[in-house]
Amino acid sequence: MKTLLRPTGFVDSPFGHDGKVARLAGGLNWFASVELIHDDGTRELVPVEGIEDQFDEAMAAAWARITAPRVPLNLGSRTIHLDQPQVMGIINATPDSFSDGGAYVDASAAAEAGATMAAAGAAIIDVGGESTRPGAKDVWEGDEITRILPVVQHLAAGGTAVSIDTRKSAVIEAALGAGAGLVNDVSALTHDDRSAEVVAAAGVPVILMHHQGDPQSMQDNPRYGDVLVEVYAWLDARIAAAEAAGIARANILVDPGIGFGKSVAHNLELLNGLALFHGLGCPIVVGASRKRMIGALSNEAPVDQRLAGSLALALKAAEQGVQLIRVHDVAETVQALKVWRGLRDQALTPRLS
């Protein structure tokens, strides 16, 4: 494993720090330090100033990916710019999702909720017809299509950018045909052998999410040596596999898979180290909304009382340059990010002498 670079030492403003700070992925975040994670497990903190003098070829390539602006996503007629954090709203058209199971079984209610999320500021609405919560059972693709198709059709017809949350190629084909423009695959195209082929042929963006195990078993004592390094390496390999299948790297997004085969400690370590994943050169997606780790850290707060924790994690993601934040509570998250953006805008406004 090559030396990995994790941006850290974030600063409010680059002004007056020429050569001492670098811009993260063309976004609103600047950093002054880098943690070098060596292949022997040792870690070294070095300043940005003069860092390129230490690079070998692989480190120089990673640095270029870390600092390069991310290409906007094209979802049909909609363009999603990734120079600031964007919100992805969650619509689970299922009876058994961990947070809102049963709330959107009716297609009209699901479509209306998605439209409300879009009006509240969600850049993308992510529609799923199969729960992948811990212990969830597989859903037949025909039932999954029946659940999601009218929702996707209604939202897309209204001009909303829609993604399809599925592991199955037949569902991907049906959703894309109905107007979806992005595939969100929690299996990173490993569940269905045809999925990569379908995505490549359609030329649409795809989210590759890390997982350990399947929904039935993923929370049965998950283990890692170094979760941050191992998730990075796994996603790097999945990006290579997607490219080999004909998917352009510019169409690949990555998700560290919070809660998918991870303990609370694993999740926290990943969230603390999110900036590492910019080294993959792909936009980063994080979905920590309402997840069990929030309850575990707050006296076992039930799912419907995890808004504050969800907002804390959304802001943690924004602070590390994450481009897409997948949430249930769109209006509240959009407001939190608007305040965060106001702080950033002020910091990035030159003072007049």
Q: Is the pLDDT of residue 320 over 90?
A: yes
Q: Is the pLDDT of residue 97 over 90?
A: no
- The 10s digit of each residue's pLDDT in 83-94 is 999 999 999 988
**Rounded CA separation 336/117 (Å):** 15
| 87 three-class SS | strand
Please report which confidence band the pLDDT of residue 295 belongs to, taking 50, 70 and 90 as the band edges.
Answer: very high
Q: Is the pLDDT of residue 256 over 60?
A: yes
| 34 three-class SS | strand
Beta pairing partners, 89:
125, 327
**Which residues are designated catalytic?**
291, 326
For 12, the token pair is 């409010």
% the chain with pLDDT above 90 = 85
Q: Is the pLDDT of residue 66 over 70?
A: yes
Q: Is the pLDDT of residue 96 over 70?
A: no
The phi and psi torsions of 62 (rounded to 5 degrees) equal -65, -40
Q: Is the pLDDT of residue 100 over 60?
A: no
Average pLDDT, the chain: 93
pLDDT number for residue 351: 77
Q: Is the pLDDT of residue 304 over 70?
A: yes
Q: In which element (H, E) is residue 145 found?
A: helix 141-157
The domains found in the chain, sorted by start residue, are 4-67 (no CATH), 73-346 (3.20.20.20)
- The 10s digit of each residue's pLDDT in 122-160 is 999 999 988 776 666 788 889 899 999 999 999 999 999
| 8 three-class SS | strand
- The 10s digit of each residue's pLDDT in 257-289 is 999 999 999 999 999 999 999 999 999 999 999
Residue with tokens 């030492």: 9
By C-alpha distance, which of 64, 152, 143 is closest to 107? 152
% the chain with pLDDT above 70 = 93
